[in-house]
Chain A
């Protein structure tokens, strides 16, 4: 039953996506592309790109993965499975957090999780660029967007639009 598989996969990733939805991208790529062969790496990164172009939270890539794997039901199951466990945790943590204001363990937890998030995100960035870079043109497009975002204060959507336009003109 593919919907159950989706629910279990994204439900687990929901609680493991430390620091944000994108932290789980390396695990999603591995599960969806490598383990289950639900889609190619190229399709994975295309759906990811489409989701980034839509308004709203950037976890919508999960919705599109679910949709591609099992249609509308897949989209709903993947989205809910990815949202609900983490949101229940957030609901519980929200009240505890203010209660334990300045305790040391709160700061240790925060300082300890940040490097993990950074490592996961670097892995996510590396894997997505690798998957998206089918030739030197798309590779330079990805690197160019990364460098441009870091070097300027322009809105990310500007770079997404520029990348899409470059692709349209055959530069991908």
Chain B
């Protein structure tokens, strides 16, 4: 049911409705999932499942999260293949994809916003954007340079700036 991102809904169910987690526990889990690689919600399902019922809990939570959406998106794809030649459908999907691209751009800006006060943060984000977006450098080598450089910069002592926090989900 989670249209356009499932995180806020998951939070509501787990914290407010069922009381499985306190708000602080949930925020801590989100903080972890937002810098781990991979899909945020899938990681969240795995970690929460593990805390509740070990490996089996992780598997169950992940399957519960993925199975229905997997089937639904394939039905959509099948419909698109069947009717995609019709020009109204093509136009609609064209508009949809432009909108989806715009949404990702907005998410990117939201994630970058907390870096405003940080020269180092902006430098790294800018370098990443230019390398991957404009120069199209290969992914793994780029990250092997960017990630250690960024962590080293973050480890340098500075006068305390505004705390880095992150909004939105990816």
User: Residues of A with Cβ closer than 8 Å to B?
Assistant: 12-27, 30, 34, 45-60, 63-64, 67-68, 72, 75, 79, 82-83, 85-87, 89-91, 93-95, 97-98, 108-129, 131-134, 138-139, 141-147, 149-150, 155-157, 159-160, 162-172
Interface of A: prevailing SS: helix
Nearest CB on A from B95, distance (A): 2
Per a CB cutoff under 8 Å, which of A20, A27, A90, A111 touches B170? A20
- Do the beta carbons of A75 and B74 come within 8 Å of each other? yes
Name the residue of chain A whose CB is nearest to the CB of B150: A112
6 interchain pairs (CB within 8 A)? Answer: A15-B38, A19-B37, A55-B1, A58-B5, A141-B99, A163-B100
Contact indicator per residue, chain B 73-99, by CB within 8 Å of chain A (1) or not (0):
110110010000000100111111111
Evaluate contact between A168 and B51: CB separation under 8 angstroms. no
Using Cβ atoms and an 8 Å threshold, which residues of chain A touch B99? 49, 52, 141-142, 145, 159-160, 162-164
A144 cross-chain contacts in B, Cβ below 8 A: 102
Distance (Å) between the CB of A133 and the closest chain B CB? 7
**Which residues on B are within 8 Å of A, measured CB to CB?**
1-6, 28-29, 31-43, 46-47, 50-51, 55, 58, 62, 65-66, 68-70, 72-74, 76-77, 80, 88, 91-112, 114-115, 118, 120-129, 131-134, 136, 138-140, 143, 146-147, 150-155, 164, 166, 169-170
Contact of A149 among B36, B103, B132, B152 (CB under 8 A): B103
In angstroms, Cα B107 to Cα A73, docked, is 31
